[in-house]
Amino acid sequence: MYQLIIRSLTETDAGNYTCQIYLPNQNYKEWPQKLGVLTVQIPPTIKNDSLASITVNEGQNITLLCEAQGNPAPNITWKRADGFPLPNGGFQQRGGIYKVYQINATDRGQFICIADNNVKPPASYTVQLVVIFAPYCTAVQDTVGQAQNRRFHAKFECLVAANPRAEVIWYKENKATREKEQIQDNDKYKLEQQDDQRLKADEKWYTLEIKNVQGNDYGDYYCTGKNEHGENQAQFQLFETMDCQGQNCPSVGAIPEIEDDILPEVKKQGQTAYLNCSIIHLLHFIAKVQWIKQTSPTGPPKNISSDETVLIDEVVGGQMKYDVVKYRSNDSDIYQLIIRSLMETDAGNYTCQIYLPNWDYEDWPQTTCVLTVQKTMKCQGQNCPTGKAPASYQVSIVTFMFGLTISFSIRYCF
């Protein structure tokens, strides 16, 4: 047995190999011999000169090319990376040449060429198809209902796809003139543009929120997208309902209110005061909780905070003079105002109020707490005791009640 061993096979090693017995003094044709065929299997490879990205205008035709090598000759298949059907129908297309006619914006994305000859691993190549197109505007829900005059909001959601990116404008149709009036972001309307990882690169999510729906808000609205290649729009309708609609509706008849009065606080100078404002039914409303300070009958009020944001940047002893801490207890939201290193000037009225957009100021829920600051002083004058005798002290109390500043002293001994 004679065994031929060929190591580190390459493509050039493929071919016919003959084993023959050399017999001297005999004709060459009479030598015994056998023929063997060696086939070298080679996994597929795809030529690198294929385009990685193709940009076309909507409506044009394209040809995708994919050339592959291997032994045996590989089969070539085209498919979409996102799993959706191919533009011409079906989920797979055989052959290295794939022609697509009348490109549509929905055809954009990645196309994968796969070459396979059952010799692992198969080869693949991705082509990014970029389509230039006018905007497509899609209403997520084209009709939305909401009750009026109860501080409920309504929201429209619009998906806009465009390349290049579209300028998006919201309009409301004037019922009297039938003309479209542009909507601006303000206290009445909230306009937002959001990104989402589930969206394609040329898709954007736009929302219009109508605050505190009133009777004149009902009607038709339009989400309009425009770029250099064209313009498109999606139409929405806001209609009246008897009850609140949507996920954020409160319990029937529930409006934000301050649950309890804030009890008066009496603290000594240098101590810390904690004022608690307990609010119910706040979760389902767009509102802000504010703390306001009124330290004199004639001076202007001073806004301390809005929700948990402190508006007065004052530091005492290395700490903020004011802090607001929010926590939830049972069904109530507690907004606690913390006042550190109390001084006489901190005495006064502190009001907790709920700011409700589009409501009259007189209707905002509010309650006021009176903070009294006691100042302790050493006994002054020649009649003060000395040594180990009982000491005499005077306490000055400053408070603010009924629009008047009251100051009085108490002397006591011990």
Each residue's pLDDT tens digit, 7-39: 998 888 889 999 999 988 888 888 899 999 998
Domain residues for the domain of 16 are: 11-43
How do strand 230-240 and strand 143-146 relate by DSSP bridges?
parallel
AA letter at 102: Q
From 209, 240, 271, give the residue that closes a domain. 240
| 250 in a structural domain | no
Q: Who's near 260: CB < 8 A, 6+ residues apart?
A: 278
pLDDT in tens, 274-294: 999 998 887 656 788 999 998
CB 220 within 8 A of CB 210: no
Q: Please, are residues 378 and 399 in contact by the beta-carbon 8 Å criterion?
A: no
Based on the fold, state whether residues 391 and 361 are members of the same structural domain: no
What single DSSP character describes residue 122? P
- Does residue 115 sit within a domain? no
- Find the angle CA(230)-CA(236)-CA(239) to the nearest 5 degrees: 165
Give me the pLDDT at residue 380, please: 62
- Residue 2 in tokens: 């004679």
Answer for the pair 335, 346: CB distance below 8 angstroms, yes or no. no
Residue 214 has φ and ψ, to the nearest 5°, of -115, 170
Residue 3 inside a domain? The answer is no
Give the integer Cα–Cα distance in Å for 67 and 65. Answer: 7
The pLDDT, as a whole number, for residue 201 is: 84
**pLDDT value of residue 389:** 44
* 278/327 same-domain check: yes
**Mean pLDDT, rounded, of the chain:** 86
390 has pLDDT over 50: no
Q: Among the listed ranges 86-100, 220-234, 394-408, which one has the minimum average pLDDT value? A: 394-408
**For residue 51, is pLDDT > 80?**
no
Instruction: Assess whether 305 and 354 both reside in one domain.
Output: yes
- Which pLDDT belongs to residue 284? 59
Cα R_g (the chain), whole angstroms: 41
pLDDT for position 49: 65
Task: Tell me if 39 is assigned to some domain.
Answer: yes
Name the burial class of residue 121, with classes exposed (0-12), middle (13-18) and buried (19+) by CB atoms within 10 angstroms of its CB. Answer: exposed
pLDDT at 398 over 60: no
299, part of any domain = yes
On whether both 310 and 369 belong to a single domain, the answer is yes
Cis ω for the linkage preceding 250 (within 30 of 0): no
Q: State which amino acid sits at residue 162.
A: A
pLDDT in tens, 148-207: 987 789 999 999 999 999 999 999 999 999 999 999 999 899 999 987 778 888 999 999
Q: Which three-class secondary structure state does DSSP give residue 201?
A: coil
Predicted pLDDT of residue 7: 94
Token pair of 166 as six digits: 């579209």
Cis peptide before 72 (omega within 30 of 0): yes
pLDDT (0 to 100) of residue 403: 47
Cα separation, 240 vs 217, whole angstroms: 9
370 plus 270 within the same structural domain: yes
Instruction: Tell me: pLDDT of 378 over 80.
Output: no
What is the rounded distance in angstroms from the CA atom of residue 382 to the CA atom of residue 68?
Answer: 110
**Residue 322 CA from chain centroid, whole number:** 31
What is the total count of domains within the chain?
4
Alpha-carbon gap, residue 99 to 55, rounded angstroms: 15
231 has a pLDDT exceeding 90: yes
* CATH, residue 173: 2.60.40.10
What does the angle CA 378 – CA 383 – CA 384 come to, to the nearest 5 degrees?
A: 30
Q: Cα 311 to the chain's mean position, in Å? A: 26
Of residues 131 and 248, more confidence is placed in 131
Which of 364, 365, 312, 299 has the alpha carbon at shortest distance from 338?
Answer: 312
User: For a pLDDT cut of 70, what percent of the chain falls above it?
Assistant: 87
* Burial (Cβ within 10 Å: 0-12, 13-18, ≥19) of residue 208: buried
